[in-house]
């Protein structure tokens, strides 16, 4: 598998998902053959300076291979400076 850093059109989203969710907290748990990736929001409480406990807004459960593909995709985007990519299988 290779990561293609060319800008591509992302897949169409259902209307209830188009707004997305904000995340500034990330957690990855590996076990057996699966990986659990949590996305959360962690903000300071009103008038406070210490971050609050994160609120998980999305959870993705995938295989370890799926996490490896995600890592390759993220590395490709960061290295190229591209704003959108999609992985393409090597032919």
pLDDT in tens, 44-69: 777 777 777 889 999 999 999 999 99
Other C-beta atoms lying within 10 Å of the C-beta of residue 35: 19
- Residue pLDDT, tens place only, 8-48: 677 888 888 888 888 999 999 999 899 999 999 988 777 77
Environment class of residue 61 by beta-carbon count within 10 Å: exposed (0-12), middle (13-18) or buried (19+)?
Answer: exposed
- Helices (H) then strands (E): counts for the chain: 1, 5
């Amino acid at each position: 598998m290779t990561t293609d850093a060319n800008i591509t059109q992302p897949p169409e989203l259902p209307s209830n998902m188009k707004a997305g969710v904000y995340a500034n907290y990330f957690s990855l748990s590996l076990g057996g053959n699966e990986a659990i990736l949590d996305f959360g929001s962690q903000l300071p409480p009103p008038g406070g300076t210490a971050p609050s406990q994160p609120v998980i807004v999305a959870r993705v459960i995938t295989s370890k291979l799926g996490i490896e593909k995600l890592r390759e995709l993220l590395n490709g985007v960061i290295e190229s400076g591209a704003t959108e990519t999609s992985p393409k299988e090597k032919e």
